[in-house]
């Protein structure tokens, strides 16, 4: 896929890949496995993702899925997992001020993606719209981040990402 450098993975992508059994989950598993072959991590997520992923397995006492998610998020080479730090929270607030319907967890995810210089975010969350531009004005200075484009885990997108590796 042209113009894709690094991809931020939203929590629902992991849920689709590891908790569902369908064609989309198979394609997502292929995409994640392809990331393992790269020298540099091509995928990024936030520590927030782990917390969101563990809710259902803890509710269902599913120790094996807890182990899968903890291993996936905490120990791998193809996924860069970033901490939630004060600048991430500030920029999440800026995003929420610019995009009024954005929920705080989604703003934290998007802010993390922008801070990690991702070009795209892969999500199935319909509350996350098509593109985000973060413009921050403070003390007479304007900071503008690279635009972040939303990708959906549909067949054409996943096929394109599998055929054309991230640049």
Residue-range domains of the chain with CATH: 7-163 (3.40.50.1010)
Look at residues 37, 13, 48, 18 and name the one whose alpha carbon lies nearest to residue 120. Answer: 13
Mean pLDDT throughout 75-88? 92
44-78: pLDDT as tens digits: 999 999 999 999 999 999 999 999 999 988 888 88
- The pTM score is 0.91
Q: What does the pLDDT look like over 108-167, one tens digit per residue?
A: 999 999 999 999 999 999 999 988 988 888 777 877 888 899 999 999 999 988 886 655
For residue 8, the number of C-alpha atoms closer than 13 Å in the C-beta half-sphere is 29
What confidence score (pLDDT) does residue 34 get?
78
Nearest to 162 by CA among 44, 45, 32: 32
């Amino acid at each position: 896929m042209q113009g894709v450098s690094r991809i931020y993975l939203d929590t629902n992508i992991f849920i689709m890949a590891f908790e569902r059994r369908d064609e989309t989950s198979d394609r997502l598993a292929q995409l994640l496995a392809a990331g393992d072959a790269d020298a540099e991590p091509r995928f990024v997520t936030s520590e927030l993702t782990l917390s969101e992923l563990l809710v259902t397995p803890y509710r269902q006492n599913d120790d094996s899925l807890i182990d899968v998610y903890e291993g996936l998020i905490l120990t791998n080479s193809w996924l860069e997992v970033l901490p939630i730090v004060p600048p991430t929270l500030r920029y999440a607030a800026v995003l929420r001020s610019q995009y009024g319907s954005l929920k705080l967890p989604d703003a934290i995810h998007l802010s993390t993606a922008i801070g990690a210089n991702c070009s795209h975010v892969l999500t199935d969350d319909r509350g996350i719209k098509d593109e985000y531009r973060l413009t921050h004005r403070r003390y007479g200075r304007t900071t503008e981040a690279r635009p972040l484009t939303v990708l959906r885990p549909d067949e054409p997108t996943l096929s394109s990402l599998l055929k054309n590796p991230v640049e």
